[in-house]
């Protein structure tokens, strides 16, 4: 099964229910009169994400979709599959080359966390399976707060020391 965070944005959006609402805060009268905040709920999993910083509903929809992809990557697990082409492309020479803002980031996090879950969150074993060093694997997850927090929560539940 393909992880939802690995779907292209149009496919993922098709699996979501979108609602719009108003939110208070900076932005003046326009923000208070127009429903520009967007909440996306991934219907198969029930996981949702919201964006309301922009005055444009379309910009908020795009931001909510990126947040949803990352939340899915962190919170939803699937069975481990052979390494994806995306993973192979992004891990040349044992290094993981991706920026947290890149559209591949959430998909890579999902793949990494799936492998970590399969190896009881032992970073060394998972990194060996992924063809990277444990340091590279941890650094991928450290690029954003929520994946790294999840890693440490899972490690603590299993009696492993949290990573710094």
Question: pLDDT by residue (tens digit) across 88-100?
Answer: 999 988 899 999 9
Which strands sit side by side in the sheet containing 37-42, from one edge to the other? 16-21, 37-42, 48-51
Query: Bridge-partner residues for 41, per DSSP?
Result: 17, 48
Domain boundaries, the chain: 4-75, 85-157
Q: What's the CATH fold of domain 4-75?
A: Double Stranded RNA Binding Domain (3.30.160)
Mean pLDDT of all residues in 6-17: 95
Alpha helices in 76-104 (DSSP H): 85-90
What is the model's pTM? Answer: 0.90
In this predicted structure, what is the pLDDT of residue 23?
72
Tell me the per-residue pLDDT of 99-112, one tens digit each, with 9 for 90 and over: 999 999 999 999 99
Give the strand pairing for 16-21 and 37-42: antiparallel
Mean pLDDT over residues 123-148, rounded?
Answer: 97
What is the mean predicted confidence (pLDDT) over 47-63? 92
Euclidean distance between CA atoms 30 and 26, whole angstroms: 10
């Amino acid at each position: 099964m393909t992880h939802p965070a690995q779907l292209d944005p149009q496919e993922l959006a098709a699996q979501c229910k979108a609602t719009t609402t108003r939110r208070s805060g900076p932005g003046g009268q326009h923000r208070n009169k127009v429903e520009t905040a967007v909440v996306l709920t991934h219907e198969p999993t029930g996981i949702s994400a919201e964006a309301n910083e922009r005055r444009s509903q379309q910009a908020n929809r795009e931001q909510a979709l990126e947040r949803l992809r990352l939340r899915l990557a962190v919170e939803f697990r699937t069975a481990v599959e052979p390494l994806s082409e995306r993973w192979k492309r992004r891990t040349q020479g044992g290094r993981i080359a991706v920026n947290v803002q890149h559209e591949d980031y959430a998909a890579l996090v999902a793949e990494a966390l799936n492998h970590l879950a399969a190896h009881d969150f032992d970073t060394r074993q998972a990194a060996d399976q992924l063809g990277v060093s444990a340091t590279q694997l941890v650094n991928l997850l450290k690029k954003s707060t929520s994946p790294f927090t999840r890693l440490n929560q899972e490690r603590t539940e299993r009696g492993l020391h949290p990573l710094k």
